[in-house]
Amino acid sequence: MTSRAFEDNVVIITGASLGLGAELARQLADQGAWLALAARSADRLEAVADECRERGGRAIVAPTDVTDQAQCRALIERTVAEYGRIDTLINNAGMGMWARFEELQHLDVMQQLMWVNYLGSVYCTSYALPYLRQTRGRLAAISSLAGKTGVPAHSGYVASKHALTGFFDTLRIELQGSGVSVTVIFPGFVATGIHERNIGPDGRLLGQSHTVDYRRAMPTETCARIVIRATARRRRQVVMTLRGKVGQWLRLIAPGLVDTMARRAVERGR
């Protein structure tokens, strides 16, 4: 049973102020988790923390820019100072993009995506890992179906998610026998609002979705339930959509078809 798997479990969630991160916090609070909520916006984190306390969880707020190593270390230290340990780290912070590679006005866009989507998880994991070893805890990372294939107009995002996937797949092997589990989640299109925070060719937020028809996207609540269940069960990975699962098999025998499917999925917004 996983309905109370995170009761009194110390869980750090990055990107916890909005979307999937905030929903993960709420659902974990329902189980009685002890939460450390990280994101850049202190005000939004406080609002999520208040919700979590009302639902029966404990919650502290740790404003954190995951691209800053010192802030990631401070997040881990603050959590241990408050709760005395770390049981679970969910690396959820992320940002998207919408621009063909040739349209980029400068390459800082690629650098920013790698910092947020990949290196932020590396930094937090590095500082948390000694504590997770002590508790034989859980590591989870939110990748994307884009972490398994190419997606047009998302080159920097895709590259960062491939890096994230490769890092945690390797870390899982290195941690064999330690008791620490590594779960990588591969969602498809989810109605989290991340697509409204895509950056464009000039590196600025676009402020609207160019990719998702939310009528066809997975609800955030459903995605969060899957993430929590998989992390509780210490699953190796979860590919959330049937199309994603089929695509992995097709890629072995008809890679050109998978490329076409990816292009059409973006065009249709699902």
The tokens of 242 are what? 């049937």
Using the predicted structure, report yes or no on whether residue 213 has a pLDDT greater than 90.
no
What number of helices (H) and strands (E) belong to the chain?
9, 7
pTM strictly above 0.85: yes
The mean per-residue pLDDT over the stretch 205-221 comes to 68
Per the document, the length of the chain is 270
The mean per-residue pLDDT over the stretch 220-247 comes to 85
Question: Which positions ≥6 away from 142 have C-beta within 8 Å?
Answer: 20, 90, 91, 92, 94, 185, 187, 227
Using the predicted structure, report yes or no on whether residue 89 has a pLDDT greater than 70.
yes
Residues annotated as part of the active site: 157
DSSP 266: H
DSSP line for 88-132: EEEE-----B---GGG-S-THHHHHHHIIIIIHHHHHHHHHHHHH
Structural domains of the chain, with CATH: 10-241 (3.40.50.720)
